[in-house]
């Protein structure tokens, strides 16, 4: 039986619950954190997740710190193949955020990937390695194989954006920490748009001016771009 991924995503989204008390999201994870305030919210809160289901509960008392966008946290969590110990941090009220000493981290054994190297497909259709100290964006301007194609994007309002996409191809490779013979590589197109794309264009947040998209085996730049045109949604 073929599973409709769109329906699954919709059902998962419906499981999300949010209110003045906090929120619940159907996410995987492992954490127990005391938050000394939230995003421009002075209330303490506790967030915890044990394998599945993240719950955040706002507490009925406030921090003496001013409001901010990045408040001190205390506790532990595991995410992004890393164990995190949150230690509070130095909160700068003039900036509304912690500036240092926020956390300590440890890579999880045999799960962390270490970046190995970066290549750009050049005009001779060969892989040009980016050496240490080189700036990839400068090399792309002069050496990269480049294609320019029209790109069509439909906003939620129904307005259609017809813009130009400039594409190059990049390859990145990683090695498994503690197991360097296990490697992972990924080819993708790097796209620069001629103007902002998405529903946030012309807002203070701004639209998307560039992005990357994974290449499938034997896929051309144009084919990958057209697939992205059908699949990708820019918020």
The rounded mean pLDDT for the chain is 91
Task: Encode pLDDT of 212-226 as tens digits.
Answer: 999 999 999 999 999
How far apart are alpha carbons 38 and 73 in whole angstroms? 10
How far apart are alpha carbons 41 and 88 in whole angstroms? 16
Q: Is the pLDDT of residue 10 over 70?
A: no
Q: Is the pLDDT of residue 52 over 60?
A: yes
| pLDDT bracket for residue 204 (50, 70, 90) | confident
The pLDDT score that the predictor gives to residue 162 is: 96
User: Mean pLDDT over residues 166-192, rounded?
Assistant: 94
Q: What percent of the chain has pLDDT over 70?
A: 94
For the ranges 44-48, 89-93, 189-193, 199-203, the lowest mean pLDDT is seen at 199-203
The pLDDT score that the predictor gives to residue 14 is: 65
User: Mean pLDDT over residues 196-210, rounded?
Assistant: 89
How far apart are alpha carbons 181 and 85 in whole angstroms? 30
Task: Encode pLDDT of 128-166 as tens digits.
Answer: 999 988 888 899 999 999 999 999 999 999 999 999 999
How far apart are alpha carbons 29 and 105 in whole angstroms? 16
Burial label, 217 (beta-carbon count in 10 A; 0-12, 13-18, 19+): exposed
The pLDDT score that the predictor gives to residue 79 is: 87
| pLDDT bracket for residue 205 (50, 70, 90) | confident
Q: Kindly list the domain boundaries of the chain, sorted by start residue.
A: 5-107, 114-231
The pLDDT score that the predictor gives to residue 196 is: 94
How far apart are alpha carbons 37 and 47 in whole angstroms? 12
The pLDDT score that the predictor gives to residue 81 is: 83
Could you report how far apart the first and last alpha carbons of the chain are, in Å? 32
| pLDDT bracket for residue 186 (50, 70, 90) | very high
Q: What percent of the chain has pLDDT over 90?
A: 71
Task: Encode pLDDT of 22-50 as tens digits.
Answer: 999 998 889 999 999 999 999 999 999 99
User: Mean pLDDT over residues 71-78, rounded?
Assistant: 95
The encoded tokens of residue 81 equal 């193949």
85 near 76, Cβ under 8 Å?
yes
How far apart are alpha carbons 230 and 149 in whole angstroms? 15
The pLDDT score that the predictor gives to residue 173 is: 96
Q: Is the pLDDT of residue 1 over 60?
A: no
Output the CA torsion sign for 99, 100, 104, 105: positive
């Amino acid at each position: 039986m073929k599973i409709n991924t769109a329906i699954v995503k919709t059902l998962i989204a419906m499981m999300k619950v949010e209110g003045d008390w906090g929120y619940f999201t159907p996410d995987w994870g492992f954490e127990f954190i005391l938050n000394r305030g939230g995003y421009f919210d002075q209330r303490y809160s506790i967030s915890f997740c044990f394998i599945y289901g993240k719950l955040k509960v706002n507490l009925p008392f406030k921090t003496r710190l001013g409001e901010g966008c990045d408040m001190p946290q205390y506790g532990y969590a595991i995410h992004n193949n890393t164990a995190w110990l949150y230690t509070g941090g130095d909160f700068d009220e003039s900036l509304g955020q912690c500036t240092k000493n926020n956390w300590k981290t440890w890579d999880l054994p045999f799960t962390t990937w270490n970046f190995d190297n970066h290549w750009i497909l050049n005009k001779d259709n060969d892989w040009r390695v980016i050496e240490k100290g080189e700036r990839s964006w400068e090399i792309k301007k002069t050496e990269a194989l480049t294609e320019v194609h029209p790109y069509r994007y439909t906003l939620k309002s129904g307005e259609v954006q017809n813009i130009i996409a400039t594409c190059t191809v990049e390859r990145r490779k990683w090695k498994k920490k503690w197991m360097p013979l296990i490697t992972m590589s990924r080819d993708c197109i790097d796209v620069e748009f001629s103007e902002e794309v998405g529903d946030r264009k012309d807002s203070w947040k701004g639209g998307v001016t560039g992005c990357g998209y994974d290449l499938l085996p034997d896929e051309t730049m144009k084919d990958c771009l057209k697939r992205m045109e059908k699949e990708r949604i820019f918020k």
